[in-house]
A and B are shown apart, each in its own frame.
Chain A
Amino acid sequence: MAKTLFDKIWEKHIVKEIEGGPSVLYIDTHFIHEVTSPQAFKGLEKRGLPLFRPKQIVATADHNVPTLHQELPIKEELSRIQVQTLKDNCEKFGVELYGLGHPYQGIVHVIGPELGVTQPGSTYVCGDSHTSTHGAFGSIAFGIGTSEVEMVMATQCLLQSHPKLMRISVDGELHKGVTSKDIVLYVIAQISASGATGYAVEFAGSAIRSLSMEARMTICNMSIEMGARCGMIAPDEITFDYIKGREFAPKGEEWEKKLAFWKTLYSDDEATFDKEYHFKAEDIEPMITYGTNPGMGIGVSGQVPEFSTIDERDKPSFEKSIHYMGLHAGEKIKGHKVDYVFIGSCTNSRIEDLRQVAAFVKGKKKSDDVTVWIVPGSKQVEAQAKEEGIDKIFEEAGFQLRQPGCSACLGMNEDKIPAGKYCISTSNRNFEGRQGPNARTMLASPLTAAAAAITGVISDVRELF
């Protein structure tokens, strides 16, 4: 019988099906960080339980860490305690921690793939909704709450209902200056921030296939922003080439065995989905969000929707949203002032993102009125950027290259955008207050963010090459 990519992996991980209920799903690897794990460890302690499979846990500190002077003790007391608690728990329970100071430290969804931990055909969870990132390798990967973190710690399993299945195909060739971030912002704008809720989404089509692994990760990363349980892309030669030789990638005979299995991971021709969408790559222009959910995106040449085009029921939310953003219905977005540019987060902080930005800004200077923060996704990305001289390019442009962490994506550390200020951000969420109380976030690709850094206003990067 024809099967989807999702079902091929799902079926291999079902320990047991409960009649009329969810299935017991086996989790291959569990990523943990300092924010959503302490209560779970505490829960285990209260129950007097050890970790069931400590070797299948990968731990790092990312959400709370400062991005300057990581060699010094963390100033903010609660952050320091939380990061220390993770360290203590990892020691006590026997988990390998890539904490501050470790050459592998970084954003959990950046380090998993770069270490070769993330592989096709496996299941991954983390107490973080952007776990969907790992689906770019053709795996099932999704975010969970802390109670579920505790369940996986105790049993390496979760109770999960089979989601509905959706396929989103993007075919054709992207215009110059249009990136995978624009693809995903476009798709979310088309189907809405809840358009894929209840579904596992497979991204397919020639435009997706032609993307690098890092670009694919950006798309799967933001599948949660359309509500999806997870996002995934069938693995291919691009995937295998990316994994080969990485620290925890299979080696020798094991590699051949795994590769043979990975090559079976695609949706069969006759496989059916509960819902399908088709988009054309040619229709996509550089995107930017104007509102307070990731579905409120438009092309940079576009305008904030007119009030009359908004559905009656949606009007109060729309009005609140553009009021928060200090924008007007019908206003053109291009040329709007920008105060901060943040290039980072699990969506866009990988070496390719930094390379792309560096290639664009080389020889240019940032606008005097804009503060630019570049926060690499990991110590390895940071080291690579320095090796390639990218740090020098940023320095000359007036961009500040900081140290790895989640940073201004959610402003849990000191990296907050001041109230009322506009930030073009390569992160994933433009929610009210996400980057700091009353901060105004506009989501865009690294290229569009870099263009704004240079001009000081929202710009069409295609006019600046």
Chain B
Amino acid sequence: MGIIVNLEEDKKKAGAAKFQSERKIIQSAAVPIELENIDTDQIIPARFLKATTREGFGKNLFRDWRYENDDETKPVKDFALNNKIYSGKILVAGKNFGCGSSREHAAWAIKDYGFDAVVSSFFADIFKNNALNNFLLPVQVSEDFLQKLFDAIHKDTNAAIEINLEEQYIKIVATGDQESFDINQYKKTCLLNGFDDIDYLLNMREEIEAFEKNKV
């Protein structure tokens, strides 16, 4: 499992020091963390925020839930990221995911680890923006559908989950159960085309200057 359909990397965008992926459909098994209020301090503890680059945070994703006493030779066996029965590009977690600190390092860590989407019944605002700005898709589902996802993964840890961004639905492939999800249309266009906000804003500098002149 772990197949991304329709993945096109656009590395050529002039001036942009990043490469963006066009993702219409993600189909993959999923990794479940059945806990609520997962805060960004758990996703990436503060002591790993001392880097001055955006790379390499994946190895410390959920660091203190992954290892006993910060010791990489002692992985916590029950924790989903250490449990080999789970794999895939989709992280599924309980409500209020990403609460707390605004650290974008949380989104960087999840993405760097290899996830392309996070599914939860509720996302904290800042995390959601940070995820979108890093082409990590936050998919908000109902409590009931979230439970169905957990049930499906428990039944078959390889259960394929399909997330279709273009059509805005998430589906449990085996059962056909699906639910539509919301996404800001502007952000959807950005994700589908690999645009980011800064490109948009940079094109608006004249309007911004005009606004400043008229501002009281």
Contacts and interface: CB of A to CB of B under 8 A. Distances in A.
Given A46-B17, A147-B198, A431 B39 contact: yes
A320 B201 CA distance: 44
A194 B125 CA distance: 10
Interface in B79-121: 94-96, 99-105, 107
Contacts of A21: 184-187
B182 to A, nearest CB: 12
Nearest to B96: A194
Given A16-B207, A194-B95, 15 more contacts: A15-B208, A18-B186, A24-B208, A49-B202, A85-B52, A127-B102, A146-B54, A146-B104, A147-B197, A148-B129, A148-B133, A154-B198, A159-B197, A194-B96, A229-B125
B94 to A, nearest CB: 7
A158 to B, nearest CB: 8
A227 B125 contact: yes
B41 interface: yes
Given A227-B96, A433-B45, A36 B102 contact: yes
A412 B37 contact: no
Contact of B102 (A42, A143, A429): A143
A295 to B, nearest CB: 8
Given A412-B50, A432-B41, A129 B100 contact: yes
Interface in B132-169: 133-134, 143
A26 interface: yes
A15 B124 contact: no
B12 interface: no
20 contacts: A18-B186, A35-B103, A43-B17, A47-B16, A52-B208, A78-B50, A144-B102, A144-B126, A145-B102, A145-B130, A147-B104, A194-B37, A197-B99, A227-B99, A313-B94, A316-B34, A317-B36, A411-B47, A431-B39, A433-B41
Contact of B100 (A127, A229, A314, A431): A431
Contacts of A211: none
A194 B186 contact: no
Interface of B: 15-17, 34-37, 39, 41-42, 45-47, 49-54, 64, 69-70, 94-96, 99-105, 107, 122-126, 129-130, 133-134, 143, 184-187, 196-198, 200-202, 204-205, 207-208, 211-212, 215-216
Interface residues of A, number: 74
Contact of A437 (B51, B64, B211): B64
A426 interface: no
A203 B75 CA distance: 45
A419 B70 CA distance: 11
B44 to A, nearest CB: 11
A6 to B, nearest CB: 15
Given A155-B208, A316-B34, A227 B186 contact: no
Q: Which of B17, B187, B200 has the most chain A CB atoms closer than 10 A to its own CB?
A: B200
Contacts of B133: 145, 147-148
Contacts of A129: 100-102, 126
Interface in A144-197: 144-148, 150-151, 154-159, 161, 163, 193-194, 197
A35 B52 CA distance: 8
Contact of B42 (A79, A85, A261, A431): A431
Contacts of A317: 35-37, 94
A12 B216 CA distance: 9
Contacts of A431: 39, 41-42, 100
A151 B143 CA distance: 34
A239 interface: no
A20 B208 contact: no
Contacts of B102: 36, 127-129, 131, 143-145
A64 interface: yes
B99 A293 contact: yes
